[in-house]
Structure 1
């Protein structure tokens, strides 16, 4: 198992240190508690070597999230098992405060999800839109994000 120490700045510039697992399926230990630092912890499962997923993780860190990235060759199967509709799978899978987040969802939509706390399983931005965080230097244009859960699939945001 290969581990890499990553130190990032969280909310209010507080340093957050975490070991980032590169070839295991469970989150690795966080040295400085993300909750104590005020950063929302995020676990991302991604296809090994995916550059846009690395860029997205850095984007979330810059937005104040404490991110742990896990390489998972079967993240698409994990996505389905966690409730993401097959046609809604994004380029990686994340778990944020009990919600499943699939794809390159902008931070303001994740923050809205965490503020509103709807009774859904999660949200997804399917595919790899070229104007999404992780694919472009900054989000441009409209990105349609979907909510999914026991009640089905519906548009969550058209931002």
Structure 2
């Protein structure tokens, strides 16, 4: 009658445990990739003929975002649907996770928003400041602020960008 010693069981478990752990890692890898991927997904509503919206989308893609665009005749109803006051309006509105993004917000501020997860409605760059992503004019940039828009409709400066002038040599 064969007997199984504790040493035999221990050796068998020692060999099977790494395989089980590798299997678990392989199974969870797609979940990690999906979570990372969904954090990079942004939906953008824009008018079909707006060149600066096209350039902002290109800026996002260049910075690793997966962008789904939706051409609409008017972005105001989209802003209203997401609860963003018209005073923050620009030429395009986006949705990044649970946040609303309005206007020419730099990709680095979107990454910061995702990293910090503030309690807010989203980010906005009202108007169309020259030199913001999608509104580039050489090395010239108007000063502008990226605003953190709070749920109560108020806002505060999230990041300021100073003006910059082209220097001719």
Task: With the length of structure 1 as denominator, give the TM-score of the two structures.
Answer: 0.71
Is the 8 Å Cα contact of residues 46 and 69 (structure 2) preserved in structure 1? Answer: yes
Question: Is 1:44 the equivalent of 2:44?
Answer: yes
Structure 1 residue 139, shift from structure 2 partner: 8.2
Aligned equivalents of 2:140, 2:79: Cα separation in 1 = 24
Task: With the length of structure 2 as denominator, give the TM-score of the two structures.
Answer: 0.67
Structure 1 residue 34, shift from structure 2 partner: 7.2
Residue in structure 2 matched with residue 15 of structure 1 by the alignment: none
Residue in structure 2 matched with residue 156 of structure 1 by the alignment: 158
Structure 1 residue 47, shift from structure 2 partner: 1.4
Cα RMSD of the aligned pairs, angstroms, is 2.3
Distance 1:127 1:120, change over 3 A: same
Alignment coverage as a number of residue pairs = 127
Aligned equivalents of 1:58, 1:134: Cα separation in 2 = 8
Distance 1:119 1:41, change over 3 A: same
Structure 1 residue 108, shift from structure 2 partner: 1.0
Ranges in structure 2 where 5+ consecutive residues have no aligned partner:
1-32, 162-169
- Structure 1 runs (4+) greater than 6 angstroms displaced: none
Q: Whose strand proportion is higher, 1 or 2?
A: 1
Q: Whose helix proportion is higher, 1 or 2?
A: 2
Distance 1:39 1:100, change over 3 A: closer
Question: Is 1:108 the equivalent of 2:108?
Answer: yes
Residue in structure 2 matched with residue 147 of structure 1 by the alignment: 148
Distance 1:139 1:94, change over 3 A: farther
Ranges in structure 1 where 5+ consecutive residues have no aligned partner:
1-32
Structure 1 residue 87, shift from structure 2 partner: 1.0
Distance 1:35 1:58, change over 3 A: farther
Is the 8 Å Cα contact of residues 95 and 101 (structure 2) preserved in structure 1? Answer: yes
Is the 8 Å Cα contact of residues 106 and 132 (structure 2) preserved in structure 1? Answer: yes
Q: Which has the larger radius of gyration?
A: 2
